[in-house]
Chains A and B, each alone.
Chain A
């Protein structure tokens, strides 16, 4: 392993530690006595004491912190207040749905943005370029919770082509994917365009053209390999945006993923479940970022400084 990757790994581990500590401290952010808040008014002192003991809140802070790490290491994320089930089990049921939604959105975003971005770069300064750039600006500005309901109104109510919400068939995946992928596609279009314009100006492109290669061949075979490199980095960063967007998108479309699970947990003040949802989403993001760095260092040997 090279120095670049070691540094990235170190950062990922520090971030992981930071996130776990933050999530641990969340319980202590609750105003007043967390146990009284959890049990609500009218709880008997004995109940409060029992609850405090079961959560380990009667121990010194540092001991609690140590226990928290120990439990994490053994995969014990606590039990849900609402259902009484193990949090880990609940997470395992919702996690694949979120992964499916985010990955399909990422795929859709790439499939739409790369051709459009390259096209805009090739026709740099033309009407086509202006049209694509404007549409992408619109895509960046439209929030998920506006686009989602508008899509439902248009494609599920006015023209009933697709299901309004829920999960099951692949039809159910379409509207949430469009909702989540739009902002990503819009950002990627701008990135691909800027990067390709830069690349198409390079001397090697002019040489290839002078050799008699067709513009298309130079664009897609030569320039694209280099031009899409920065996009890989952005993809990793944007994955966080997708995960955050999934929280809202899942709520709109009743998609039984981790985002919706978290919002439901917040509504019912199911604190252990909220903590674990935040942890799961953050860890996924940290992991995907590290994966991006790994892929990037494989693609571009120059970063292995």
Chain B
């Protein structure tokens, strides 16, 4: 038993070493190979700082929206009764199967100046494309399915016994959800949120089409990375990429801490 366990571990870790650890190590190496000072200079550059905060802002809006949507959709798909569930599930996955650049294009076709709602939006002085709301929408679209898809299998595995018991005991739907369902699906939600955040942070393709890349205004951190590459500032590009990686790691850490804290309070 322990021999095969060791074997499994070796294979898994070997695969990860080649595919994951080596590239990440490479990134860190390339970032710091000229020392700490150029990195610090690069990330404290005003455009970099603005790009950082813009990305945070986008994530702070898109991720909660997608989380609520994802949980709601998972509940609908697993606990609701209606026809066309498979179709609905596919709709949620839809944006994900489209190349990000095309997602951006589609958004411009709908919300751009010459798009379907272009006239109406211009009349009311609302700018979606080439402004922050457009970036939020594009980011939300490409990171849409994760919470739903992570939560659905867990919900199904869960079964409805505990929820039904709570209902017969007089618990309201909100109580049942908050006290029974949510704690049971928390790991699905956690990983869904982590994936959504990671994707939202790193999104480049769709955002590059809808943002307009105005430095200091609509340039997210990934766009900044691209810009620095194009401008021969390799250290700056890598430094910003490291910041993104650290943000993703931080999200996972935060979610882990949050989940462990609530663990104690949710035993039924």
Q: Tell me, yes or no, whether A binds B.
A: no
Residues of A within 8 A of B (CB): none
Residues of B within 8 A of A (CB): none
